[in-house]
Amino acid sequence: MKSIEHWYAAHRRVERPLYRTGILLAVLSPLPVVLGAAFGDPPVIAAVLVLAVLVVPYLLYLGYLGDRAAVAVDGGR
């Protein structure tokens, strides 16, 4: 980040969606354990892979949104 203004602009932009994502992941994190206890290993592996496939691109998107907000501080590229 170029300056403190860029830093705060980026973090303000992604604050709420990132907070909601954290809550959602906290709620869903016991899912592999529950599935493992009920059905064995294959559903656990599937649940972890699905969470990873959904979460990683979303976090990358939030990074993109934060970058756009930081760039907007200077009026664009």
Domain boundaries, the chain: 4-73
User: Over its length of 77 residues, how does the chain's per-residue pLDDT go in tens digits?
Assistant: 678 999 999 999 999 999 998 898 888 888 778 877 888 788 778 878 887 888 889 999 999 999 999 999 987 65
55: nearest Cα among 21, 12, 9, 32: 21
User: pTM for this one?
Assistant: 0.72
**Separation in Å, CA 64 to CA 29, 43, 44, 48:** 25, 32, 30, 24
**Separation in Å, CA 17 to CA 11, 31, 51, 57, 74:** 11, 22, 17, 14, 23
